[in-house]
Structure 1
């Protein structure tokens, strides 16, 4: 595929070099085009809602408990990647939501929070995975939340609302993306949709193989279009999946990522793949340190999967970042900070699982015994009573994104902080600059400070092949 074919395949690329922000270019375009090898493939990894403290604590946990650095930090230590800070603002706020953040990558424009690739005056920007599909590449998305959620949708579709997940499920089928894997059975299953549409049947009629369990990945038809929906709602948190047998039918992010790469890697024109660790964001919203660390480590396994492929392939640009910070967790100074932090290794489950298992009829001793069993934390009577009051109606129920059952996440994280030295500034997104790393052909285009929307143009510039 030559450059003329690429430009013909997507009219939205016309004027790319004049429209694209110059901040992302290390040299002038002509010089780069002559000297730089182009990326045949792009793997874009997003740890959704990852503050810098999340990256640091996952690495610290990995060092202390697992005896090794994380893959992401090793890439820094071994000087294998280009590295930058990224400004994550949206058009409507210095603090973005995932829809606007993903749309900045998807469209090359900042849009207001809540929408997908729709401009401030109603413009519909052609999403980047459609551009690459029009140019002849295979396209895919893998996530630990619903496949129709804001981050994958921002690479793929236009919508006035990130919440239009029923419609987004249908849009994917119409657009014909090659590999889509995650959760969200309720948006495909006719027994769960209000309109009773069988979206699975639509995909099957278009030639997709539909996967429902981890074991299905072992029998996947090589190279065919694939829809993998492995859960109702989001996939389980990693720490729960590791410790609750009935959740182990669900694949990990790394397993889905490896399968997606394998499905697309032999395509003559290459592929583009989004990999999202979406539950990192949900854990941060819940101020749940065990969920946060273990899902960040699961994301890191997917990073390793991508880098291992790219090192062998030598034609793949790997982008590793987040879309925004969330809750800014961090390890707090104290005499026993190391020992307290390392005690997180004793946590068996997410706070969601622990708190869901407490009921209004529990007495104080039952609450204390349950917390001791699951976190090895010895509650005082006052702490146990404080928790009990949320279930008996004496304390106001907590709100919060993804806190569907109004569980006392904040109250419990404050109790845990006394024992693990981990603090949180909030239960919501933050506007901090975030980490960005790139490996492979095209990574030389990265400058030390970029805006999120710049990555759209960098991907296009990195992957345009030389004139034949």
Structure 2
């Protein structure tokens, strides 16, 4: 049987005729051309679809011109162990399940590295300046760079844009953290000058609209119960331009912030507001109460404005409890801050204004360890929160109570007072030793050091350890919350100088606030270059440890 010419060609036999070859090539070229068109169309459609999906899935960008509220929150001296201790203490005290966590726990996004320009271990001044100026500086520096030139702060940059501003703390308002957002001095001990700057006595003019905290001392002369080095009464001088609040009764008259006339100067205590464990509620408001007033007042003031507000909130005395190695005081300070943080969360979730809160620490204090080896034997894996619950006052409070005891010269009466009133009734310690009682007696006239004896008695029994009376270099947590999808997407980026998820330098927090608001710290820096910031008496009180716990912490 013979094959056709075409069949032979297909099977590798004889070639096709010239005519057949031309027909075959034409078909082949047409098929090739159609394939090219098909592939091109598919590629185009895939690209268009992918590009469209990318646009749909791309995180929204933050509009820096949109009205915003920026809430910067600082847990001074709180490290990760402080939060762990407070959480376990609360679970024990309130008989809660082990999965019952703090409000802060629910908003953890990252951690911050804390070193200053002068040391691996920062102080509060340099730590706060990193937030306010987005710049590293030396320990002791308040709003000044490493060369001691003033650096513009985020508070002032936002004030230039029309934001209202506020400061809420539980220490002196002239202390390091609030000072670094509202003043410029070479050394943090210059609190008299800090007070003047906060009231507007510098080239920028008044930048702060609301002040709530302690520190009346640096606004009054010694003749009026203050501690200024001059005779100025700043409260009297500014009484016609600022609404003044000086005690609990006047604070309550603010009606939760509804009866506020800005600017507001609220100096609730002469120095620091007492620890939460010692606070008399009829004399001093809690941090959460102060925060409510500030949020309401600033929100009302900006309701018809194109811009929102900037508010700094500090849980200041967590740090002091760390310096004092006082676990009973510290867990309660952390919980008081957590309550204030919860108020901020509620505010954000109910606000129709784009709002973000960022909470972090300037550093850790005390080198807290939630466990302690109390003998040469290998330790049990435990600690006792019930010991902290039994302790109902701070070591600082009790040390002064002993120092002020009217029968202190009678050793028998003093010993009985220490055993029964202090150790048993207030600290809940009944297994005290003669050596411990004697140690208290030896320091009875020295409350500044007696408090360490008392706090160690509590720490030992709770099996809580401390490694220093100062600060440590441990990384600290970053927490954040916002009602803005665009800001949330940016927060969730781990890229340096872009988001805050993951581990970041502390200066990135200041840079983040500057970027999302479109503000300019450099513009402020130009405006405040001529600010008086050096110590006036040239006595070089440039202390080796500018953060000494006996004075500024």
- Normalised by the size of structure 2, how large is the TM-score? 0.71
Q: Secondary structure at the match of 2:477?
A: strand
- Relative to structure 1, is the Cα distance of residues 35 and 273 closer, same or farther in structure 2, using a 3 angstrom cutoff? closer
Confirm or deny: 8 A CA contact 2:102 2:338 kept in the other structure: no
Confirm or deny: 8 A CA contact 1:341 1:421 kept in the other structure: no
Q: Secondary structure at the match of 1:210?
A: strand
Match of 2:516 among 441, 462, 467: 462
Show CA shifts across 1:127-148 (max 9, x none): 1111110111001100000001
Aligned residue number for residue 149 of structure 2: 123
CA distance in 1, matches of 2:382, 2:100: 24
Shift of 1:376: 1.2
CA distance in 1, matches of 2:87, 2:67: 29
Q: Does 1:112 align with 2:151?
A: no
Q: Secondary structure at the match of 2:147?
A: coil
Which structure would you say has the larger Rg? 2
Q: Secondary structure at the match of 2:238?
A: helix
Shift of 1:318: 0.7
Aligned residue number for residue 230 of structure 1: 268
Confirm or deny: 8 A CA contact 1:181 1:227 kept in the other structure: yes
Q: Secondary structure at the match of 2:189?
A: coil
CA distance in 1, matches of 2:338, 2:121: 25
Q: Does 1:368 align with 2:419?
A: yes
Aligned residue number for residue 202 of structure 1: 237
Q: Secondary structure at the match of 1:133?
A: helix
Aligned residue number for residue 382 of structure 2: 337
Which blocks of at least 5 consecutive residues in structure 1 are unaligned? Answer: 1-30, 398-404
Match of 1:428 among 458, 470, 478: 470
Q: Does 1:356 align with 2:386?
A: no
Q: Does 1:413 align with 2:455?
A: yes
Shift of 1:262: 0.8
CA distance in 2, matches of 1:90, 1:194: 30
Shift of 1:100: 0.4
Q: Does 1:182 align with 2:236?
A: no
Aligned residue number for residue 34 of structure 1: 61
**Matched residues, number:** 415
- Relative to structure 1, is the Cα distance of residues 225 and 51 closer, same or farther in structure 2, using a 3 angstrom cutoff? same
Aligned residue number for residue 319 of structure 1: 358
CA distance in 2, matches of 1:324, 1:35: 29
Aligned residue number for residue 52 of structure 2: none
CA distance in 2, matches of 1:42, 1:343: 39
- Relative to structure 1, is the Cα distance of residues 92 and 35 closer, same or farther in structure 2, using a 3 angstrom cutoff? closer
Relative contact order higher in (CA < 8 Å, ≥ 6 apart): 1
Aligned residue number for residue 453 of structure 1: 507
Aligned residue number for residue 16 of structure 1: none
Aligned residue number for residue 159 of structure 2: 133
Aligned residue number for residue 435 of structure 2: 382
CA distance in 2, matches of 1:238, 1:74: 18
Shift of 1:290: 1.3
Alignment of 1:6-405 (within 5 A): 34=61, 40-68=68-96, 73-77=102-106, 81=107, 83-174=109-200, 175-176=205-206, 177-190=208-221, 191=224, 192=226, 193-206=228-241, 208-220=242-254, 221-241=259-279, 245=280, 248-266=282-300, 267=302, 268=305, 269-313=307-351, 315-332=354-371, 335=380, 337-338=382-383, 340-359=384-403, 360-361=408-409, 362-363=411-412, 364-370=415-421, 371-378=423-430, 379-391=432-444, 405=447
Shift of 1:70: 11
Confirm or deny: 8 A CA contact 2:192 2:229 kept in the other structure: no
Show CA shifts across 1:381-436 (max 9, x none): 222112212237xxxx6xxxxxxx42323333332233211111111111110001
- Normalised by the size of structure 1, how large is the TM-score? 0.83
Q: Secondary structure at the match of 1:171?
A: helix
Q: Secondary structure at the match of 2:443?
A: helix
CA distance in 2, matches of 1:131, 1:297: 32
Confirm or deny: 8 A CA contact 2:399 2:448 kept in the other structure: no
Q: Secondary structure at the match of 1:328?
A: coil
CA distance in 2, matches of 1:250, 1:70: 33
